[in-house]
Amino acid sequence: MQDGAAQSDANPAPLPEKMSVTLTVNGTERRFSVLPWVSLLDALRDHLDLTGTKKGCDHGQCGACTVLVDGRRINSCLTLAVMRDGAHVTTIEGLATNGALDPLQQAFIDHDAFQCGYCTPGQICSGIGLIAEGRAKSPHEIREFMSGNICRCGAYPNIVAAIQQAMGTKP
Amino acid sequence: MSMVNNTAKTYTGTATSRVDGRAKVTGAAKYAGDFNEGGLAYGAVVESTIARGRIARIDTSQALRVPGVIDVITHENRPRVADTDQAWKDDVAPEEGSPFRPLYDDMIKFNQQPIALVVAEEWEIARYAASLVRVDYEKQPFVTDVYRKRDDAIVVEKPDKLRGDAAKAFAAAEVRHQADYFIPTEHHNPMELFATTAMWDGGGPLTVYDKTQGVQNVQQYLCGVFEKKPEEIRVISPYVGGAFGAGLRPQYQVVLAVMAALKLQRSVRLVLTRQQMYGLGYRPATIERLALGARRDGTLDAITHEAVGVTSQFEEFSRNDTGWSALLYTSPNARYEHRVAPLDVPTSCDMRAPGAATGVYALESAMDELAVALKMDPVELRMRCYSDRDQNEDLPYTSKCLRECYREGAAAFGWDKRNAEPRSMRDGRNLVGWGMASGVWEALQMPAAVRIVMTANGHAEVSCAASDIGTGTYTIMAQVAADSLGLPIENITIHLADSTLPRAPVEGGSWMAASACHAVVATASEVRKELLRLAKLMKASPLADTVEEDVTLSDGKLVSRTQAERGVSISDIMRHGAMERIEKEKTNEFAEDKAHARNTHSAVFAEVKIDEELGVIRVTRVVSAVAAGRVLNLKTGRSQVMGAVVGGIGMALHEETVYDHGFGRIVNHNIAEYHVPVNADIHDIQVIFVDEPDALVNPLGIKGIGEIGIVGVAAAVANAVYHATGVRVRDLPITLDKVLARRPAT
Amino acid sequence: MIPFQYTRANNVADAVRLIAANSGAKFIAGGTNLLDLMKDNVERPTKLIDISRLPLTSVEETASGGLRIGALVPNADLAWHPLIEKRYPLVASAILAGASQQLRNMASTGGNLVQRTRCAYFYDTATPCNKRQPGSGCSAVNGINRGHAILGASTSCIATHPSDMCVALVALDATVHVTGPNGGRTIPFADFHRLPGDTPHIDTNLGPDEIITAIEVPAKGFATNYSYLKIRDRLSYAFALISVAAALELKDGTIQEARLALGGVAHKPWRDVAAEAALRGRPAEEASFAAAADLLLRDARPQAQNGFKIDLAKRAIIRTLTQAARGTPQSQSNKTIQ
């Protein structure tokens, strides 16, 4: 919002053309058209009706929007859908197979690694990414490498325990 | 209303996994901004950039020319809304004052006040158009700093009758401690953005998905604001992504979304940005003054607690902040007084143990300082002042196992190994500090109703308008329903947070567990009565001569309590009675008891390690021992207290809404610079639920654990920081620069 | 965010041609800072040129024994690249001290260099800021400046550069390879970022039509005696109050060569060659480190709220050099500072 009496008779900048984007989301090819300013997060939520991925800040400050793009965990709020044309995206909706939960999803339930559940899709996608990276092993390392996912309910110790369970380093 | 007593599986009091767990780990759980049906239009808010004044001119013409913009609503073209304060008052509104009315007129009362709503076909278009709205202001002087209004603050709370003469006793005391403590403004920052999706259905009832802790509160409020009949607006909120008090009052986005939907006759979604959420309520910055006078033996002679908290210029919000000091410890002389300073900011509001988190932080810091002055162990000091009666009302407690909290907490922590001398404990380059504090909260219960529909297949649907903001209401209601109805928990379906469901209070104050679960039990009792009536009609009924008090529901059967072999299955009863379903609705009833005080308590023990030269603080261990009556679910209950400890660590070390008082504007209005703990900040947290049987508080012995977990945590950490460093930081948060700047000369 | 055209560059030459043709255009690679700023209307490009698919993602050994790091290598990949971990662990450590793994997975090496300050006033379009709107004034000078610069600031701007990686790269004498309409050139890392002076809106000496193609680190990686220590208000996922990159070459306890750079203290990653020179030939002990710290901080000037940074910087320098000398670099996971 701009203060002061700026030129208000000028026409606003025109909107560009919509662009076609193809993503493979949770194993299914999805084609849609969006304006270039649509983030991957908003594309998933508003255009593909995959609302499991959450918006918590829209600025890469909370991790709630974490998804896996080509196997890597990223903040979907800070990338444009058009930039990801052709990518493989995995969201929280794509982790269970034929109704069987991913081991990390089950571990989150077992260890009560959430309360309100809003950061949970991002935490789980982040945890899947962490496990795939194969770097973080000790509790110190898991804490550090999960620090991009804020949980305001404060479930952190349970999140660490859930990841350890899924990694097979803790029952 | 006693619980079932049999060999079948009992859920109440066990570590049962959340019944909504699967929905939450698969992304199926839908929050207010997740409902996509209905050809949505999207809103974006324009906020004021000044703290006080009026809008001289607002020009929306350029915004309106952006393709895809449907409307720009301002105070100049908004539809009619109610014009009385009464209509705008929700259940949680302060008694004094005029609730804020978004887009009502040209007055600017605080920075980040909503002044226009852009509605567009896509949210990015609305966001862009919002940036094109031009505003000219007439600015007026403003104040956002509580210290500048400290002396003009208004008294909002003090005791009806003074206990002794605290000032005189303090002056005469053998050992005295007096200091000011400060808690800055804090914002709740639930992970979910405040959001409303208002579904227009061709002029039929408006369905409003809202982020709220009380759907019926919002529903009544909207009916008041928009002058609608109750059946014209329905509010739903199946999942709430945290709230911590921020969702107790209806927030402005629900007004704007409904306003737009009604005006445009279209479904509208409005999601606030993280930045915009700093224009909502907050924990008020509070200046706390404590004066403690004691005898050398550690008994207290005088307690004075005075506080000044922030409110807005248009509403007087406050919560009991200072009264805790006079309640908790034995002292013949006590005085407390709470004042509020109206500033040019939004109205402050409830946040996690409102009043207690702040007031008890100050009290328990002061008690630690007194212990130092007395050269007495801080736990011992609290034992010397221990009170078995509510000191304000001079009433016995329904139960109070705070002694056990001290004892069990200290044992688990290893408190006996503490060297009392500050700076005496080390771990390499780190100074180690051990601190403790007490916590106290109220055990409240409110009227609530539950509907149970039991079907012949042994399935029960349990409905209540209560919200589950992550606290586990779905799960504990399912546990209690399963036990009360004698069914496996898988056969229970809980429906919550729909304003058309049976009456419930807002989810807050730690009262929901007691309120909702007693409503479940009361209604289950009606179901049982109906089943018994039907059973007695059966030929050769084994329960023919049984009275209501003698039967229970267990393992899918209605059985005699005394003779377990006398029983009939629920399905048989219902088949015989040709009943498809039994539907009952009942409101909980609590016996009035003015002869007892009802409180929860805790003892919190914290270990910090502080790099001596660099000041970097780590909270390496916390033990929280909680006495809160019966804990319904050990798993979710532990999580709740653990999460509250995390919140308390944030309060102690990280959280501060930073104002630039020159602009009257929040500088760190985002979740990168408003620091809350991240995973790396949190280490070992142990939760102990002290056994506290309580037959008086209510039949199930439930006291509630939503708030108690955070109370005392900040003080325990602050006291540990002092013990580690010899530096007493009395203004939160305790950042490393404060520790370094004030360290004793070496 | 204002509307913009989006196009993808096919190669470096194409990228340079596209950006030269449009004064309102910006490159986007990782997007982690640019989109953040666009959402707040701080950055207002009318065209985005997506360079994220250009083939600038390799890490190659150079003839002189160093490494040439493609500008589009993601931060996370760089931190965990075997050659970086082995030969330039200071760079790896500094990268891992910053942001979150998700952001490091997105952010590019080149983009890290041109990220902008996190000064709150720069982000808030309702307040004056010379960096965002030249001539409008600096709100931080008389405002909230606890996190601001203590070195090299001007009356126009007291913002700090937020990068961790750059602190390590400037310490290691990296060079920045850029390509513009007139071909390629290299910029020594120390000259890449600018002090604010009276042009705080210009962060770097990268030309408006130039693209960063690579970062080159010389052969000397100080892989034995190094440490990166970051001090901040919470233990992770926060910008530095002070960070220190230290690297030493030791012989029998005497410092042969030293590198010392600070983050969180200035408008650019702050390296001080005088302080490094003062360490050379000195015993690797606290007195030497303290003297170097004093030298580095000789011109430090506090703002109203950040005076603590000067003393903290000194202590952090001493500690980081101590860690480096002992060969016990700071872990970025275990937060105990040995």
pLDDT tens digits, C88-128: 999 999 999 999 999 999 999 999 999 999 999 999 999 99
Q: What is the CATH number of the domain that holds B44?
A: 3.90.1170.50
| Interatomic CA distance for residues B335 and B162, integer angstroms | 6
* Whole-number pLDDT of residue A9: 60
Residues of A with CB below 8 A from B670's CB?
57, 59, 61
Domain end: B248, B279, B310, which one? B279
- What's the Cα-to-Cα distance from B71 to each of B46, B74, B121, B133, B680, rounded to whole Å? 13, 10, 10, 12, 45
Same domain, yes or no: B490 and B578: yes
Label residue B160 by pLDDT band (50, 70, 90). confident
| Confidence (pLDDT) at B4 | 42
CATH 3.30.43.10: which residues of chain C?
A: 5-52
Contacts of B671 in chain A (CB under 8 A): 56-57, 59, 61-62, 150
Do B203 and B275 share a structural domain? Answer: yes
Higher pLDDT, B545 or C223: C223
The mean pLDDT of B609-634, rounded to a whole number, is: 98
pLDDT in tens, B352-395: 999 999 999 999 999 999 999 999 999 999 999 999 999 999 99
Q: How far is CA C129 from CA B254, C2, C88, C159, in A?
A: 34, 20, 37, 10
- Cβ(B334)–Cβ(B391) under 8 Å? yes
H helix count then E strand count, chain C:
13, 12
CA distances from B536 to B148, B563, C14 (A): 74, 16, 88
Q: What is the DSSP string of B636-671?
A: HHHHHHHHHHHHHHHHHHT----EETTTTEES--ST
What is the number of other CB atoms lying within 10 angstroms of the CB of residue B364? 32
Q: Report if residue B728 sits inside a domain.
A: yes
pLDDT mean over B299-303 = 98
Per-residue pLDDT tens digits for A87-128: 999 999 999 999 999 999 999 999 999 999 999 999 999 999
CATH class (in words) of the domain with range A19-94: alpha beta
Looking at the complex, report in whole angstroms how far the Cα of residue C231 sits from the nearest Cα belonging to chain A: 15
Instruction: Say whether both B527 and B559 belong to one domain.
Output: yes
Q: How does residue C15 score in pLDDT terms, banded at 50, 70 and 90? A: very high
Q: Say whether B79 sits in a helix, a strand or coil.
A: coil
Which amino acid is residue A40, in one-letter code? Answer: L
Residues of C with CB under 8 A from a CB of B: 1-3, 39-41, 118, 120-121, 123-124, 126-127, 139, 142-144, 146, 231, 233-239, 241, 308, 311-312, 315-316, 318-319, 335-338
Q: Same domain, yes or no, for B727 and B609? A: yes
* Residue B188, CA atoms < 13 Å, CB-side half-sphere: 27
Same domain, B521 and B425: no
Q: Kindly indicate whether the ipTM for this predicted assembly is greater than 0.95, answering yes or no.
A: yes
C22 alpha carbon, distance to own chain's centre: 28
Q: Taking CB atoms and an 8 Å cutoff, what residues of chain A touch B242?
A: 115-116, 118, 152-153
Q: Determine the pLDDT at residue B2.
A: 39
pLDDT in tens, C140-187: 999 999 999 999 999 999 999 999 999 999 999 999 999 999 999 999
Which of A16, B123, A78, B126 lies closest to C6, judged by CA? A16
pLDDT tens-digit readout, B131-142:
999 999 999 999
Instruction: Name the residue type at position B470.
Output: G
Closest C-alpha to A140, from A159, A160, A158, A120: A160
Q: Is the pLDDT of residue B7 over 80?
A: no
Given the structure tokens 């007055």, which residue do they identify?
Answer: B107
Mean pLDDT of C237-252: 98
pLDDT of residue B746: 54
Q: Do A80 and C236 touch (CB under 8 A)?
A: no
CATH architecture of A103-167: Orthogonal Bundle (1.10)
Q: How many CB atoms lie within 10 A of CB B399?
A: 22
Question: Is A7's pLDDT higher than 50?
Answer: no
Asked whether residue B209 falls in the same domain as residue B121, the answer is yes
The residues, any chain, with a CB within 8 Å of residue B554's CB and separated by 6 or more, are B4, B6, B8, B486, B567
Q: Which residues contact B424 (CB under 8 A, 6 or more apart)?
A: none
- Residue listed under structure tokens 């990068």: C163
Q: How far apart are the CA of B575 and the nearest CA of chain A, in angstroms?
A: 34
- Cβ of B121 under 8 Å from any chain A Cβ? no
H/E segment holding residue B136:
strand B134-139
Question: What's the average model confidence in pLDDT over B14-37?
Answer: 97
Q: Quickly tell me which residue has 């002794």 as its tokens.
A: B164
Residues B88-91: contacts with CB within 8 Å, 24+ apart?
Answer: B88/B221, B88/B224, B88/B225, B89/B221, B89/B224, B90/B217, B90/B218, B90/B220, B90/B221, B90/B249, B90/B250, B91/B214, B91/B217, B91/B220, B91/B505, B91/B506
Q: What's the rounded Cα separation, in Å, for the pair C321 and C246? A: 6
Q: Measured between alpha carbons, how far is A134 from A71 in angstroms, rounded to an integer? A: 13
pLDDT of residue B742: 85
From chain C, the residues in CB contact with A39 under 8 A are: 35
- Angle (CA) B259-B260-B265 rounded to 5° is 110
Supply the angle between the helices B473-485 and B512-537 in degrees, to the nearest 10.
30
Q: Which residue of A has its CA nearest to C48?
A: A36
Same domain, B428 and B509: no
Question: Of the candidates B279, B309, B329, which is a domain's last residue?
Answer: B279
Q: Which CATH number fits the domain that encloses residue B603? A: 3.30.365.10
The tens digit of pLDDT for each residue in A39-87 reads 999 999 999 999 999 999 999 999 999 999 999 999 999 999 999 999 9
Residues B422 and B463 in one domain: no
Question: Are the C-beta atoms of B299 and B330 separated by less than 8 Å?
Answer: yes
* B536-563: burial string, b at 16+ Cβ within 10 Å, e else: eebeebbbeebeeeebbbbbbbbbebee
User: pLDDT for C198-214, tens place per residue?
Assistant: 999 999 999 999 999 99
Distances (CA, A) of C299 to A81, A121, B442, C149, C272: 47, 49, 56, 12, 11
How would you classify the pairing of strands C25-28 and C47-50?
Answer: parallel
The structural domains of chain A, with segments of one domain joined by +, span 19-94, 103-167
Mind listing the pLDDT tens digit for each residue in B384-410?
999 999 999 999 999 999 999 999 999
**B401 and B255 share a domain?**
no
Cα(B442)–Cα(B15) distance, integer angstroms: 24
| Whether C126 and B663 lie within 8 Å, measured CB to CB | yes
**Range in B90-104, B152-166, B408-422, C294-308 the model is least confident about:** B152-166
Which parts of B503-549 fold into alpha helices (H)? 512-537
B488 sits in the region (left: phi over 0; alpha: psi -120 to 50; else beta) called: beta
Domain C225-326 carries which CATH code?
3.30.390.50
pLDDT in tens, B674-721: 999 999 999 999 999 999 999 999 999 999 999 999 999 999 999 999
Domain of B436 in residue numbering reads as 377-444+598-741
- Which stretches does DSSP call E strand in chain C? 5-8, 25-28, 47-50, 59-61, 67-70, 175-180, 183-188, 211-217, 225-231, 242-251, 254-263, 270-271
Whether pLDDT at B345 is above 70: yes
Looking at B237, B258, B279, the residue that finishes a domain is B279
Tens of pLDDT, residue by residue over A17-51, are 999 999 999 999 999 999 999 999 999 999 999 99
Q: CB–CB of A39/B124 below 8 Å?
A: no
- Closest-CA distance of chain C to residue B56, Å: 17
Residues 343-382 of B with CB under 8 A from A: none
Indicate whether B579 and B494 sit together in one domain: yes
pLDDT at A3 (0 to 100): 44
Query: Could you tell me which of B226, B267, B232, B229 has the C-alpha nearest to residue B250?
Result: B226
Does residue A8 have a pLDDT over 80? no
State whether A56 and B122 contact (CB < 8 Å): no
Domain assignment of residue B679, yes or no: yes
Q: What 3-state DSSP class applies to B466? A: coil
Q: Which chain B residue shows the shortest CA-CA distance from A148?
A: B678
| Per-residue pLDDT at B643 exceeds 70 | yes
Question: Over pLDDT 70: what percentage of chain B?
Answer: 99
Residues 76-105 of A with CB under 8 A from B: 91-93, 95-96, 101, 105
- Cβ of B673 within 8 Å of Cβ of C1? The answer is no
Number of H helices, E strands in chain A: 5, 6
Alpha carbon distance A113, C162 (integer Å): 32
Q: A171: pLDDT confidence band, cut at 50, 70 and 90?
A: low
Which of A36, A60, A126 has the CB atom closest to C4's CB atom?
A: A36
Number of domains in chain B: 3
What residue spans in chain C does CATH classification 3.30.390.50 cover? 225-326
Beta bridge partners of B498: B236
pLDDT of residue B528: 97
The residue-averaged pLDDT of B563-589 equals 94
Mean pLDDT of C34-46: 98
* Residues of B labelled as active-site residues: 707
In the CATH hierarchy, which fold is given to the domain comprising C5-52? 3.30.43
Amino acid, res. B270: L
B1, two tokens = 């209303």
Helices (H), B39-78: 61-64
Mean model confidence pLDDT for chain B: 96
Residues B61-105 pLDDT 10s = 999 999 999 999 999 999 999 999 999 999 999 999 999 999 999
Could you tell me if B217 and B240 lie in one domain?
yes
* CB pair distance less than 8 Å for C102 and A2: no
Chain A closest CA to C65's CA: distance in Å? Answer: 28
Contact residues, B window 178-237, toward C, CB-based 8 Å cutoff? none
Residue of A144, A145, A146, A152 to mutate when probing chain C, most C C-beta within 10 A: A144
Contact status of B69 with chain C (Cβ, < 8 Å): no
pLDDT, tens digit, for every residue of B644-657? 999 999 999 999 99
**Residue B312 domain flag:** no
Contact flag B737-C127 (C-beta cutoff 8 Å): no
How many other β-carbons are positioned within 10 Å of the β-carbon of residue B658?
Answer: 18
B419 and B467 in a single domain? The answer is no
